Amino acid sequence: MISKEVIVKNSTGLHARPATLLVKKASSFKSDVSIEFNGKKANVKSLIGVLSLGVTRDSSITVMASGDDETHAVEEIVKLIKSLEE
């Protein structure tokens, strides 16, 4: 398992559109991908899970992955989160 912290800079945090993009990206990997925020953890392949965390702008989250392509999965998810900055 590997993990990496990232700051969410998107003005709406991880809601609706950004969360949907994350779920689509995470679903393309074989690894289990999750994010942790305020002590809560959610599967990034679950839209309800991501939305339930209530991640807001300027929040620090931890992206974690475990599996065959874990390194690539974390890199791509972090890159996507950073690209959502508005």
Range of 78's domain? 2-83
Q: Choose, from 9, 15, 57, 72, the residue flagged as catalytic.
A: 15
Burial class of residue 83, CB neighbours in 10 A (0-12, 13-18, 19+): exposed
Residue 83 one-letter amino acid: S
pLDDT over 70 at 63, yes or no: yes
Burial class of residue 64, CB neighbours in 10 A (0-12, 13-18, 19+): buried
Tokens, residue 61: 């989250």
Tokens, residue 82: 């950073």
Is 15 part of the annotated catalytic residue set?
A: yes
Query: For 6-22, what is each residue's pLDDT tens digit?
Result: 999 999 999 999 999 99
Q: Are 47 and 25 in contact (CB under 8 A)?
A: no
Query: For 18-58, what is each residue's pLDDT tens digit?
Result: 999 999 999 999 999 999 999 999 999 999 999 999 999 99
pLDDT at 86: 62
Give the position of tokens 């702008």: 57
The CATH number of the domain where 58 resides is what? 3.30.1340.10
What's the number of domains the chain is made of? 1
